[in-house]
Structure 1
Amino acid sequence: MEKPIIIQGRSSTDDRGSLFFNNDFNASQIKRIYFIENRDNQFIRGWTGHKIEQRWFSAAEGSFTIKLIKIDNWEKPSENLPVLKFELNSKNMDVLHVPPGYASAIQSHDENSRLLVMADYSLGEITDDYRFPINHFENLK
């Protein structure tokens, strides 16, 4: 079973400026990209899951906490599933890979934060969007 991982980005600086890159990220499976901007830093977007699709997240502006839960039953998931927590920051070019089978809750920490989301299916190609109440898995408000 595949688990979520951070694919670490890097940077290089010289007299011309800085270069941010992620040479370990393979984007060959990507079919769709979009940005998420939460309405404010207290809002938590979630829980949204995908049984088939996988996602890749990278902070384009600001910073984010992304919580993930491996869903055990898509029709009626347990309430006490372990929560994985990842931090993404636009100061580097880290990419969080989320394999199929996970639900996410996303919170930004800085004003004007923007999260790049990449998916391996085109919009409308499959029906694979599952939503759960924000407080279903943990006491989130």
Structure 2
Amino acid sequence: MQPTIILGGRHSDERGTLRFNNDFNAIPVKRLYVIHNSEVRPIRGWQGHKVEQRWFMAVEGDYEIGVIKVDNWEQPSPHLPAQKFRLSQEKADVLHVPAGYITAIHALTSANALLVMSDYRLGEVQDEYRFPLDYFKDIF
């Protein structure tokens, strides 16, 4: 399975604006949280999961999210290819990152909030892997 964008949309009329995502299936989601990146450290990463999958949606601001399929969780190659995805508060697009990937989150705006959803409860599995931000080359 590959990371994919589940396209959302936006509707505006005299009453205001509605952002929606009619194709996102939230049944696997067991928990969620919101990340607010500071201006001091606008890139968070690299963090990933062998077992857990994640969904991301920009609630406020714009984001670029780097995604890498990991080849060896104990010592991955620092030259693995990365994909970049862009999320914006303008639409309710959802980025699905399946198990087996790591991510780095780059807030592109000082006002920002990123909704993150997971298919496991906190502490349900021991499945968190972190790597220094500069471990992977030429991503951001």
TM-score (norm 1): 0.94
Using the TM superposition, give the Cα deviation of residue 105 of structure 1 relative to its aligned residue in structure 2, in angstroms.
Answer: 0.6
Using the TM superposition, give the Cα deviation of residue 13 of structure 1 relative to its aligned residue in structure 2, in angstroms.
Answer: 2.0
Q: Identity percentage over the alignment?
A: 53
Asked if 1:71 corresponds to 2:82, the answer is: no
Encode CA deviations 1:71-124: one digit per residue, 9 max, x unaligned: 000001011100100010001100000000000011101112010000000000
Distance, in Å, in 1 between the alignment partners of 2:130 and 2:51 is 14
Counterpart for residue 111 of structure 1: 110
Asked whether the 8 Å contact 1:41–1:107 carries over to 2, the reply is: no
**How big is the alpha-carbon RMSD for the aligned residues of Structure 1 and Structure 2?**
1.4
Using the TM superposition, give the Cα deviation of residue 42 of structure 1 relative to its aligned residue in structure 2, in angstroms.
Answer: 5.2
Asked if 1:60 corresponds to 2:68, the answer is: no
Counterpart for residue 101 of structure 1: 100
Encode CA deviations 1:21-47: one digit per residue, 9 max, x unaligned: 100000000000001111217531000
Distance, in Å, in 2 between the alignment partners of 1:113 and 1:100 is 25
| Partner amino acid, structure 2, of 1:76 | Q
Asked whether the 8 Å contact 1:67–1:86 carries over to 2, the reply is: yes
Asked if 1:132 corresponds to 2:131, the answer is: yes
Distance, in Å, in 1 between the alignment partners of 2:100 and 2:2 is 10
Asked whether the 8 Å contact 1:42–1:107 carries over to 2, the reply is: no
Q: SS of the counterpart of 2:66? A: strand
Asked if 1:21 corresponds to 2:20, the answer is: yes
Asked whether the 8 Å contact 1:9–1:93 carries over to 2, the reply is: yes
| Partner amino acid, structure 1, of 2:82 | V
Counterpart for residue 11 of structure 2: 12
Alpha-carbon spacing, 1:68–1:41, altered in 2? closer, same or farther (3 Å):
farther
- For 1:23-42, what aligned pairs fall within 5 Å after superposition? 23-40=22-39
Distance, in Å, in 2 between the alignment partners of 1:105 and 1:111 is 17
| Partner amino acid, structure 2, of 1:56 | W
Structure 2 gaps, min length 5: none
Alpha-carbon spacing, 1:108–1:40, altered in 2? closer, same or farther (3 Å):
same
Alpha-carbon spacing, 1:97–1:39, altered in 2? closer, same or farther (3 Å):
same
Q: How many residues align?
A: 140
